[in-house]
Amino acid sequence: MASVILSARGLTRHFGGLKAVDGVDFDLAQGEIHALIGPNGAGKTTFVSLLSGRVPVQSGTIALDGTDITRMAAHARVRAGIAYTFQITSVYARLPVYDNVALAVQSRHRGDPAARTRAALERVGLADRGGQLAGTLSYGHQRLLEVAMGLALEPKVLILDEPTQGLAEGEIATFKALVRSVVPAATVLLIEHNMDVVMDLAHRITVLTFGQRLATGTPDEIRADPQVQQAYLGDTV
């Protein structure tokens, strides 16, 4: 395996009696597309929220490129190189598409953001919508705008939470090409329920269930794993 860019050891977060994330060990290899899958309630979004700093860690450790970031604030993790697009769109609805991306650029870079902003919009196919208010975009295009905002940060790690939700079939094909173009300059962690997308894109897959890691492997290894079949995949792949 390539060098590890992001790792977690014994990562835990309970909410009362709910063990949302329960002692998870995880390694994200430099330059890979790594999918995180599991049934609803498995702890996927809580887990990536811990990695990004949006939810505080109860116990365990997180390291980015060898540096301990366990107690680092979310905004500091963005500057350190982690970009997280949310499961529910988080664009600024009353601002133009262009300004949404420009604000993301300015949060990471000084100077004129114009070139980076235009490049990010072009990569997701929204260059011709720069003047449109973000709130008037279709849901699928808002998801692509979120990806553009993430890419504009030039992250080491890009975390995508249900990015194909609301996308049409043709948009999904464009999205897959986009994700492939991101690596190896950045590393992608993808939460996704569309198993066709997962199996087509991911170099490795980690399966969570009941807040714990059930398995990690290549798509073929995950397909063939009887525990994964029983817990999640069934006849879906």
How does residue 111 score in pLDDT terms, banded at 50, 70 and 90?
low
The string of pLDDT tens digits covering residues 11-57 is: 999 998 899 999 999 999 999 999 999 998 899 999 999 999 999 99
| pLDDT greater than 70 at residue 109 | no
Measured CA angle at 65 (ends 28, 152), to 5 deg = 80
What number of other Cβ atoms are within 10 A of residue 217's Cβ?
Answer: 15
Query: For the segment 69-99, what is each residue's pLDDT rounded down to a tens digit?
Result: 999 999 899 989 999 987 555 789 999 999 9
Please state the CATH superfamily assignment of the domain spanning residues 1-81+187-237 in this structure.
P-loop containing nucleotide triphosphate hydrolases (3.40.50.300)
Taking residue 197's Cβ as centre, other Cβ atoms within 10 Å add up to: 20
Identify how many contiguous H helices and E strands the chain contains and give both numbers: 9, 10
Q: What is the pTM of this model?
A: 0.89
